[in-house]
Structure 1
Amino acid sequence: MNALPKPLWVIVGLGLIALVIHLLAPILMPFLLAAVLAYMGDPLADRLEARGMGRTWAVVTVFATLSLGGVLILLVTLPLLIEQLQLLMERLYDGLRWVQSTGLPKLREYLDLPEQTQPMASAREAISEHWASAGGILFYLWNKVSGSSLALIAWLANMTLVPVVTFYLLRDWDVLMMAIRNLLPRSIEIRTVLIAKECDEILGAFARGQLLVMLALAVVYTVGLWIVGLDLALLLGLAAGLASIVPYLGVIVGIGAAGTAAFFQFDGLWPLAGVAAVFGFGQLLESMLLTPLLVGDKIGLHPVMVIFAILAGGQLFGFVGILLALPFAAVIKVMINHLHEYYKQSGFYGAVPASAEERELGD
């Protein structure tokens, strides 16, 4: 019986990995989140370890610092976000009222349409009358989504697993990487380690650098919208900053949402110009300072590749796929670069003198 060629073994292995990820997707989320957090915290632990601190104490220091910072940010921002969400509901109601009282009459007048026989007030009254039943429907849907109390307990248990798994992965990260390296076949170990280092450079630049860019943009957008006087500055600034993980999406989301909020809150066009100036300044700051300084030019992931990877990962594997999308995109990019280099050095690509007939056909 003939053995399978090496490329087929690689294809079979990748297929099995994809199948395992698909089957274990419901329980993989806490472990993947923990792996991402451990990967991002490992350089900090390595720096403390290089200064003479033991690995365990270095991990405890990093873990405690990051956890304390996260809790403090949550305690400060959560009440403000709840207040902003309540204000958002009020603004939506004001927008609905403006559409009914001003927007639709002007539109009917401009288009020379007949008067509306059933105004939007009737729709709002119908919603108000059936609010209790609508609440019952929402409660029913929530029960269906949550499944049962056991499902809720399982979800809480998964969230509890994240810090525990993060701590142990962070403590044994270098040991795990060395164990994986020792398992590699000796014939491909050097090339595989080289590819892994290139992937690490791209992932490190994106994961750590882009996170800092997102946070910086969230602060810039929030402060700028606050200076403009927008009531929803915190909520919209954070949303635009987080959306910046996809190139240009933060600006599109921010200008659309903040412009709409400013239109209903203020009278006149100057606040809209202020909103545009805030996001224009943020875009210039990102392209000219933040991205070159924090991310650099090592990432090499084209914006279209980033968008496609995130959408494809979400479509194929859901939230787990979104977490794995960019790492896989980085690995694929590095592999394509190496395949391109191998192709350029292969005899198939090599310059072979053409015959006279082939030169005539080429001309």
Structure 2
Amino acid sequence: MQVPLQVVSPEPALPEVELAEAEARRVDFAWSLGMVGALALVFALLSVFGGVAVPVLLALATAYGLNPIVTALERRGLNRTVGTSVVFGGCALLMAGAVLYLVPVFRDEAAKLPDFFLRASERVVPQVEELLGRPLPDLLRQRMAELGERASEVLQSAGPTAARLVASFAGNTARFVATLLGLLVVPVLAFFFLQDYPHLVELVKGLVPRRAVGLVSQRFSEVDDVLSAFVRGQLTVGAILSVLYSTGLGFARIDMAIVIGVIAGFGNMVPYLGTTLGVILALLGVMLSWQGAWQLAVVAGTFLVAQMAEGLFITPRVVGDKVGLSSVSVIIAILAFGELFGFTGILLAVPTTAILKVVLRVVVERYQRTALYTGERAGS
């Protein structure tokens, strides 16, 4: 399988060719058009052949995320197949440990939800009235009570409802089998993609014209910097913040501290969303488990320290400024892609926008060197 891949790969010591500005401009414009076309093709495949495209994309994303670890093991003298097996084995052990630990924790936390909302409807209003020093309107008190009762009823019936949905989905044998096979094939495809990752890269590089290979490799390296900064960086930042939030809220003796911490931590991938939800849920938890003003101080300190650590140390060191997307552009991208492509669009919104940012920057840089922009004559 690897022999034809090696035939088309370029020579190891391929000399870089210095391109003239006009030729480099054509290469960059062609590369930019190719990247936009590739992204359009990905979304088209997801829309038309989602059952096939999603497992393949998930496998490629897994291989891309784990490749640095396998490459590091390979540099230490370990065979790539053995390194891939070690990494997959380690991931399997970590996932098994996380499931064995987190599933009981989240199950216990979820069991508290109906009582949580019921107590919220009964206690939050008196707490708010005490803070304001005046009673709330009767209509608001009545709506809060109804909301708590309905939320409790919905959550209590969530388990049986989910079981019925799973049973009805499983009743459609063809769809159930296709989904199950799609999930099972992801780690298999990811293993082979990760094992052959260098050969796949060389295969793509081998299709690039020899004179343009240096510049095109540089552009793909810029895209890799952006994607790696987002995918690996944001997940790492989310995990660190989840631990910080959960630890601080647990110290404040707030119910569902782990759930709130995870929501606030990984919700940070959408600017302001995670922090806002975390603060609201934490304050609600304080009202329901009031033991003194020290709880408010601990909650405020937790979010303050976590936000300062995230802004000053965690994100600069883990992510850096390689993604370079403003909060407004991230929010707009998520809303736009979510409207166009649903949940898949939400997941791919920020990576796609980051890639398009690199493409736009390359196009603008080349345009600013043209005679049309500078006003210089072509022959001068």
TM-score by length of 1: 0.81
**Residue 115 of structure 2 is aligned with which of 71, 90, 102?**
90
Q: 1:8 Cα deviation (Å)?
A: 12
CA distance in 1, matches of 2:144, 2:98: 45
The one-letter code of the counterpart of 1:94 is R
Q: 1:333 Cα deviation (Å)?
A: 0.9
1:73 aligns with 98
Secondary structure of the residue that 1:247 maps to in structure 2? coil
Aligned-residue Cα RMSD (Å) equals: 3.7
1:9–1:336 distance in 2 versus 1, CA, 3 Å: closer
Q: 1:307 Cα deviation (Å)?
A: 2.7
1:67–1:6 distance in 2 versus 1, CA, 3 Å: closer
Q: 1:12 Cα deviation (Å)?
A: 6.7
Matches within 5 A, 1:278-317: 278-317=302-341
Assess if the C-alpha contact under 8 Å between 2:32 and 2:363 holds in 1. Answer: no
Matched, 1:36 2:61: yes
Q: 1:260 Cα deviation (Å)?
A: 0.9
1:182 aligns with 206
Q: 1:216 Cα deviation (Å)?
A: 0.8
Gap runs ≥5 in structure 2: 1-28
Q: 1:118 Cα deviation (Å)?
A: 11
1:162 aligns with 186
**Identity of matched residues, %:** 31
**Residue 272 of structure 1 is aligned with which of 293, 296, 299?**
296
1:58 aligns with 83
Q: 1:122 Cα deviation (Å)?
A: 12
1:361 aligns with none
Secondary structure of the residue that 1:83 maps to in structure 2? helix
Matches within 5 A, 1:79-158: 79-98=104-123, 110=135, 148-158=172-182
1:45–1:276 distance in 2 versus 1, CA, 3 Å: same
Structure 1: 4+ residue segments shifted above 4 A: 5-17, 99-104, 111-125, 134-147, 185-188
CA distance in 2, matches of 1:52, 1:117: 69
Assess if the C-alpha contact under 8 Å between 2:84 and 2:195 holds in 1. Answer: yes
The one of the two structures with greater contact order (alpha-carbon pairs below 8 A, sep at least 6) is 2
Deviation per residue, 1:62-83 (Å, 9 max, x gap): 1111221121112111101100
1:46 aligns with 71
CA distance in 2, matches of 1:225, 1:142: 34
Assess if the C-alpha contact under 8 Å between 2:31 and 2:216 holds in 1. Answer: no
Q: 1:329 Cα deviation (Å)?
A: 1.6
CA distance in 2, matches of 1:64, 1:92: 41
Q: 1:296 Cα deviation (Å)?
A: 1.7
Deviation per residue, 1:250-291 (Å, 9 max, x gap): 211111111112111215444233212211110001011111
Gap runs ≥5 in structure 1: 354-363
Q: 1:156 Cα deviation (Å)?
A: 2.4
Secondary structure of the residue that 2:188 maps to in structure 1? helix
Question: Which has the greater radius of gyration?
Answer: 1
1:249 aligns with 273
Assess if the C-alpha contact under 8 Å between 1:100 and 1:121 holds in 2. Answer: no
The one-letter code of the counterpart of 1:70 is M
1:26 aligns with 51
1:110–1:226 distance in 2 versus 1, CA, 3 Å: closer
CA distance in 2, matches of 1:241, 1:116: 32
TM-score by length of 2: 0.78
2:231 aligns with 207
2:261 aligns with 237
Secondary structure of the residue that 1:297 maps to in structure 2? coil
Deviation per residue, 1:149-199 (Å, 9 max, x gap): 442333222221221111111111111111112223456543332211001
**Residue 337 of structure 1 is aligned with which of 349, 358, 361?**
361
1:318–1:338 distance in 2 versus 1, CA, 3 Å: same
CA distance in 1, matches of 2:268, 2:94: 22
Secondary structure of the residue that 2:368 maps to in structure 1? helix
Assess if the C-alpha contact under 8 Å between 2:226 and 2:354 holds in 1. Answer: yes
CA distance in 2, matches of 1:115, 1:81: 32
CA distance in 2, matches of 1:9, 1:227: 53
Deviation per residue, 1:323-357 (Å, 9 max, x gap): 4323322221111111111121111111469xxxx
